[in-house]
């Protein structure tokens, strides 16, 4: 019979004698695993969302700041575009408009003609059949919000409309101007963004044309001389936001980003993470205590067995290894039981929150297991902690004089 | 002539508690193939003598030689190896691991290839009439069966010296007879056997009887073989 098998048999007896320890270790482990699973997945999910969200890859530069005003014209746009980490620089502007259908029906509420950009835009919820939601807008196409001032605009999808905007005649007066357009899609106005819920998305050229008309200049002159109220700087990845933002600020631009606001864990999730950390610490303490107690118990209850093993020719080192194996196997057993309980709890949570966010976070599909390495560490913690707690009593037990042990 | 399997020379032992001297210059030789019956009243030091002979405790004075090897200079690891390979122990209370099966108890101290040890253990158990009990948990066996398994375990490494402390105490006559037959068989194969026993039935198989009294061996006489034995 090899030592591993012998220890396995002894560990089963040890486990049966110490059920209460095993139970508490397993339950504590399960709670630690549960919180690690939820927090880990929610954090990963948040991280992925952050990485994937194009909004997280943008820096907004405003022409007016608290103390400075910068003309964000084409020259400045070119200057910013040349900065390391910058992918593109998109001019941003808005012009007030009102709409009516071809049949002359007025659409209640003002809409702001805004250039549709490839980054940081609210999601499109409906498009014309056969059209890609992310397709760039032609100069005679618009995207409208799903609702405007409480009114449902979905009836306008696919219809031709007339967009009324202002052409300035002097600094203080202007006249109505019109463009015809096709409503090719609707976006979700409930998703907050820089453009506001009453933006009407148009092509960049159409937006520039309307803005230029409002300033009594040509589109080229607007870009070259007047400039834009904002530009949106797209960077290569989320990690570039901070250095690009710092560089822009250093060069006198009024730059801001939304990345930092969205990466912090919400308070409840932070609390859950704390619970998980406390539980992990408790598992370590509980297991170390159990190791010390069970190890000391081994000295008391197994004196005769140890004496017998010595009489049978087992050396001290081998007896120490056997006792360590017993404790370690008991710890692994408790850890695996805790792991199983934790997985069951995670399955229950998965079923309970199916398709819904938990504590404000969207969780990924499938089992909410923590990363494999974290799982393995959690399952092994009881064994390691028990061994650490049991070292001293085990060494003492192995050094018992055999005749003394047998005499008991 | 081969060296004695056990040679105790001038062995003394005192216990710390009260400084009581248990053994006073004991001299004893047990030769291969010989069965020696150690007698004495309770508390005369029989068990202490056996633990010294079995290298479970060191004497305060004198020498212990196993197969001619002086054990005074051996370290803990070498003593353990000597116990495993050259000595076999049988205790009064059999001392089996109750949660292990009969065959697992026998092979537990086996040295060398596992498969060979298991085969040897199975043969030994079959020879003891326990072929059908090899996979029974030790705790479910009778006292006589357990003690026979304990003897098989003591013999698994083919030791030169078998030491037994009250091996038939508490057994019925039939079981005691079976256990003693195992000792006789071991001696017939050239092993030395040292048995401490209150029970006179040990005299049925012994070649010599030595009496321990007041820490000294006061008698060392051959045992007359009963007629027909």
Q: How far apart are CA B44 and CA B211, in angstroms?
A: 10
Identity of the residue in B48, B83, B97 whose CB atom sits nearest the CB atom of A311: B83
Residues of B in contact with A10 (CB under 8 A): 99
| Cβ atoms of B157 and B111 closer than 8 Å | yes
Rounded to two decimals, the pTM is: 0.61
| Cβ atoms of B200 and B30 closer than 8 Å | no
Test B108 with A1 for CB contact under 8 angstroms: yes
For helices A3-17 and A19-52, what crossing angle results, to 10°? 100
Residue A288's alpha-carbon distances to A27, A298, B178, B223, in angstroms, are: 16, 15, 49, 59
Nearest C-alpha in B relative to A403: B56
For helices A316-352 and A19-52, what crossing angle results, to 10°? 50
CATH of B6-222, one of 3.40.50.10140, 1.10.1740.10, 3.30.43.10, 3.40.50.300: 3.40.50.300
Burial status of residue A132 (CB atoms within 10 A of its CB: 0-12, 13-18, 19 or more): exposed
- Better-predicted residue by pLDDT, A49 or A4: A4
pLDDT averaged over chain A? 82
Test A316 with B76 for CB contact under 8 angstroms: yes
pLDDT tens for residues A104-113? 888 878 899 9
Q: Taking Cα atoms as reference points, which of B122, B99, B98 lies closest to residue B110? A: B122
Identity of the residue in B56, B91, B108 whose CB atom sits nearest the CB atom of A310: B56
Number of inter-chain CB pairs under 8 A, A vs B: 69
Average pLDDT over residues A44-52: 55
* Chain centre distance of CA A34: 18
CA distance A262 to chain B (A): 59
Average pLDDT over residues A248-263: 73
CA distance A296 to chain B (A): 20
For helices A372-398 and A303-311, what crossing angle results, to 10°? 80
Identity of the residue in A13, A314, A403 whose CB atom sits nearest the CB atom of B80: A314
Sign, CA dihedral A28-A31-A34-A37, equals negative
- Better-predicted residue by pLDDT, A115 or A21: A115
- Better-predicted residue by pLDDT, B32 or A299: B32
Tell me what percent of the residues of chain B surpass a pLDDT of 90: 47
- pLDDT at position A109, please? 82
pLDDT tens for residues A179-213? 999 999 999 887 656 788 899 999 999 999 999 99
Nearest C-alpha in B relative to A319: B80
Is A44's pLDDT higher than 70? no
Identity of the residue in B47, B107, B157 whose CB atom sits nearest the CB atom of A1: B107
Average pLDDT over residues A251-269: 66
Test A310 with B83 for CB contact under 8 angstroms: yes
Q: Taking an 8 Å Cβ-Cβ cutoff, which residues of chain B contact chain A?
A: 47-48, 51, 54, 56-57, 76-77, 80-85, 87, 89, 91, 95, 97, 99-100, 104, 107-111, 114, 153, 157
Encode burial over B31-40: b for 16+ CB neighbours within 10 A, e otherwise.
bbbbbbbbbb
Domain range annotation of chain B? 6-222
* Chain centre distance of CA A375: 20
- pLDDT at position A81, please? 92
Question: What single string gives the DSSP state of each residue in B174-220?
Answer: HHHHHHHHHHHHHHHTT-EEEEE-S-GGGGGT-SEEEEEETTEEEEE
Test B91 with A406 for CB contact under 8 angstroms: yes
Lowest mean pLDDT among A57-66, A84-93, B46-55: A57-66
CA distance B43 to chain A (A): 13
Nearest C-alpha in A relative to B99: A9
Taking a contact as any Cβ pair under 8 Å apart, which residues of chain A between 313 and 372 contact chain B? 313-318
Is B227's pLDDT higher than 50? no
Residues of A in contact with B100 (CB under 8 A): 1, 6, 9
Residues of B in contact with A1 (CB under 8 A): 100, 104, 107-108, 110, 114
Identity of the residue in A10, A304, A315 whose CB atom sits nearest the CB atom of B80: A315
pLDDT band at B55; cut points 50, 70, 90 = very high
CA distance B209 to chain A (A): 24
- pLDDT at position B16, please? 67
pLDDT band at B161; cut points 50, 70, 90 = very high
Test B108 with A6 for CB contact under 8 angstroms: yes
Average pLDDT over residues A161-176: 90
pLDDT band at A32; cut points 50, 70, 90 = confident
Test B95 with A315 for CB contact under 8 angstroms: no
pLDDT band at A357; cut points 50, 70, 90 = low
Is B176's pLDDT higher than 90? no
CA distance A17 to chain B (A): 13
Select, from the ranges A44-53, B48-57, B93-102, the one with the highest average predicted confidence (pLDDT): B48-57
Q: What is the 3-state secondary structure (H, E, C) of A186-243?
A: EECCCCCCCCCCCEEEECHHHHHHHHHHHHCCCHHHHHHHHCECEEEEEECCHHHHHH
**B-interface mutation test, from A313, A314, A321, A400, most B Cβ less than 10 A away:** A313
CA distance B223 to chain A (A): 29
- Better-predicted residue by pLDDT, A72 or A366: A72
């Amino acid at each position: 019979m090899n030592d591993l098998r012998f220890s396995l048999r002894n560990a089963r007896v040890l486990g049966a004698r110490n059920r209460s320890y095993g139970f508490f270790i397993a339950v504590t482990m399960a709670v630690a695993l549960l919180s690690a699973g939820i927090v880990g997945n929610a954090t990963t999910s948040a991280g992925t969302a952050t990485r994937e969200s194009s909004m997280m890859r943008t820096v907004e530069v405003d022409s007016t700041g608290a103390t400075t005003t910068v003309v964000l014209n084409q020259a400045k746009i070119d200057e910013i575009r040349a900065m390391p980490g910058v992918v593109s620089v998109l001019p941003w502007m808005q012009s007030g408009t009102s709409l009516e259908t071809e049949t002359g029906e007025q659409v209640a509420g003002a809409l702001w003609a805004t250039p549709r950009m490839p980054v940081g835009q609210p999601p499109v919820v409906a498009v014309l059949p056969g059209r890609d939601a992310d397709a760039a807008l032609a100069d005679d196409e618009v995207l409208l919000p799903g609702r405007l001032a409480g009114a449902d605009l979905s009836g306008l999808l696919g219809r031709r409309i007339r967009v009324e905007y202002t052409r300035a005649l002097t600094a203080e007066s202007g006249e109505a101007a019109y463009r015809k357009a096709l409503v090719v899609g609707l976006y979700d106005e409930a998703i907050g963004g820089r453009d506001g819920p009453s933006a009407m998305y148009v092509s960049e050229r159409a937006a520039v044309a309307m803005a230029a008309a409002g300033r009594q200049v040509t589109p080229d002159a607007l870009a070259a001389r007047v400039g834009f109220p904002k530009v949106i700087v797209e960077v290569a990845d989320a990690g570039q936001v901070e250095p690009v933002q710092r560089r822009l600020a250093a060069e006198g631009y009024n730059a801001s980003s939304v990345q930092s606001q969205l990466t912090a864990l919400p308070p409840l999730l932070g609390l859950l993470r704390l619970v998980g950390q406390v539980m992990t610490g408790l598992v370590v303490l509980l297991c170390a205590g159990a190791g010390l107690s069970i190890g000391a118990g081994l000295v008391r209850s197994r004196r005769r067995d140890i004496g017998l093993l010595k009489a049978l020719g087992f050396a001290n080192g081998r007896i120490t290894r056997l006792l360590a194996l017993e404790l370690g196997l008991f710890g692994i057993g408790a850890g695996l039981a805790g792991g199983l309980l934790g997985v069951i709890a995670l399955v229950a949570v998965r079923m309970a929150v199916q398709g819904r966010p938990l504590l404000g976070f969207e969780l990924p599909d499938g089992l909410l297991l923590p990363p494999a390495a974290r799982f393995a560490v959690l399952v092994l913690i009881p064994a390691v902690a028990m061994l650490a707690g049991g070292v001293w009593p085990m060494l003492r037990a192995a050094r018992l004089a055999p005749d003394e042990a047998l005499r008991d | 002539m081969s060296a004695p399997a056990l040679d105790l020379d001038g062995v003394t032992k005192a216990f710390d508690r009260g400084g009581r001297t248990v053994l006073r210059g004991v001299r004893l030789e047990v030769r291969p193939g010989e069965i020696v019956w150690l007698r004495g009243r309770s508390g005369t030091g029989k068990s202490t003598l056996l633990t010294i002979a079995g290298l479970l405790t060191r004497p305060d004075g004198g020498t212990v030689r196993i197969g001619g090897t002086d054990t005074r200079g051996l370290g803990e690891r070498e003593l353990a190896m000597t116990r495993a390979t050259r000595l076999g122990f049988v205790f009064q209370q059999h001392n089996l691991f109750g949660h292990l099966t009969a065959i697992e108890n026998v092979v537990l101290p086996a040295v060398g290839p596992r498969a060979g040890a298991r085969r040897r253990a199975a043969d030994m158990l079959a020879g003891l009439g326990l072929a059908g009990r090899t996979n029974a948990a030790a705790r479910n066996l009778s006292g006589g069966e357990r003690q026979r398994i304990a003897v098989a375990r003591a013999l698994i490494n083919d030791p030169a010296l078998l030491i037994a402390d009250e091996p038939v105490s508490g057994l019925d006559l039939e079981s005691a007879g079976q256990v003693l037959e195992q000792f006789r068989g071991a001696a017939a194969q050239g092993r030395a056997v040292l048995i401490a026993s209150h029970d006179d039935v040990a005299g049925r198989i012994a070649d010599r009887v030595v009496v321990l009294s007041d820490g000294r061996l006061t008698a060392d006489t051959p045992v007359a073989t009963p007629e027909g034995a």
